[in-house]
Copies of this chain bind each other. A is one copy, B any other.
Amino acid sequence: CALPTPWEPLRRVAVTGGTHGNELGGVYLVRHWLQAPGELQRPSFSATPILANPAATAVCRRYVDQDLNRTFTNTFLTSKAAPDDPYEVTRAQELNQQLGPKGSDQAFDFILDLHNTTANMGTSFILEAKISFSMHLCRYLQLQSPELTYSILEYQAPGETNGLPSVAKNGICLEMGPQPQGVLRADIFSRMRALVASTLDFIELFNRGTAFPAFDVEVYRILDSVDFPRTEDGHLAGTVHPQLQDRDFEPLLPGAPIFKLFNGKDVLYDGDSTVYPVFINEAAYYEKSVAFLKSRKLTVSVPALPALTAAPTLAP
């Protein structure tokens, strides 16, 4: 759990919303900040608010042609522009120009990408495994509001990462739910807003030379996905079992029911070890053949984040 750790102040920070156009928390926060950007200013930097998918946002859909948050691959980002490109490929290239280029020294230092889910996931942070800077951010946010429950969801991309935050040197997704698509709940909106403010505060502290000690933390590491039971023509043959619905991050034991078929029968979890389901019954995942994701709960040790002034100098 080590790299990449910034060794310089983070000056170029973006807060992105509307990466999925029907997840209204980020959409309306960004729209607000575009009119009133002062809230994103800190002494050492100003975060840039960006409406990531304006076309999808305008029609209140997740995307227009394809999921933008799966489009930040080198293949899409470096493909030659063509008139019949999917909208999101064009938009990903624009964002890569503005915030990247991905993997380059010119790329933004940090992207905080704002999402909502229909699943009962509370406040979750989604980040790539082994990014200790983002882990320190999560830790900081947890300490700011110890009365709230936060969950850290780690993924290890099997190939290259394809999400919007991957364009920057560091990044994280903030995922809050449950909130229906196309709905803006005031409670989720204000909590998301407060978390963005605390994120910027954390970066400000880091920029000013604050060191953060090592710690151990519980994380959920994504394993794989489970599809709905389906009929021959691809429609659902049942849905998430009432005993699993809304139980994100709770243990699922072998033999426990996971689906209720329309014919009345239960489908049981046939794995041989306990897992922790997340994104249970997320609306956007029906088309991705995902009823929920399985995760493993583990404790990781995060090394200290040294103060900037203590950054190692180059060897002579």
Residues on A facing B (Cβ under 8 Å): 28, 31-32, 35, 60-61, 118, 178, 180-187, 189-190, 231, 235-236, 238-242, 245, 260, 262, 281-284, 286-287
Contact = CB atoms under 8 A, between A and B. Distances in A.
A240 B186 contact: yes
A239 B189 contact: yes
Given A28-B262, A60-B286, A181 B184 contact: no
Given A28-B262, A236-B28, A182 B184 contact: no
Instruction: Name A's interface SS.
Output: loop
28 contacts: A28-B262, A31-B235, A32-B262, A60-B286, A118-B182, A178-B180, A180-B180, A180-B183, A181-B181, A182-B283, A182-B284, A183-B282, A183-B283, A184-B236, A184-B281, A185-B239, A185-B240, A185-B245, A185-B281, A186-B238, A186-B239, A186-B240, A186-B241, A186-B242, A186-B245, A187-B242, A189-B239, A190-B260
Contacts of A35: 231
A281 B286 CA distance: 24
Given A28-B236, A28-B239, A60-B286, 9 more contacts: A118-B180, A118-B183, A180-B283, A181-B283, A182-B286, A184-B281, A186-B245, A189-B239, A190-B260
Nearest to A183: B283
Nearest to A239: B184
A242 B187 CA distance: 6
A176 to B, nearest CB: 14
Contacts of A241: 186
A39 B35 CA distance: 56
B187 A245 contact: yes
Nearest to A246: B185
Contacts of A190: 260
Nearest to A28: B236
A69 to B, nearest CB: 17
A18 to B, nearest CB: 12
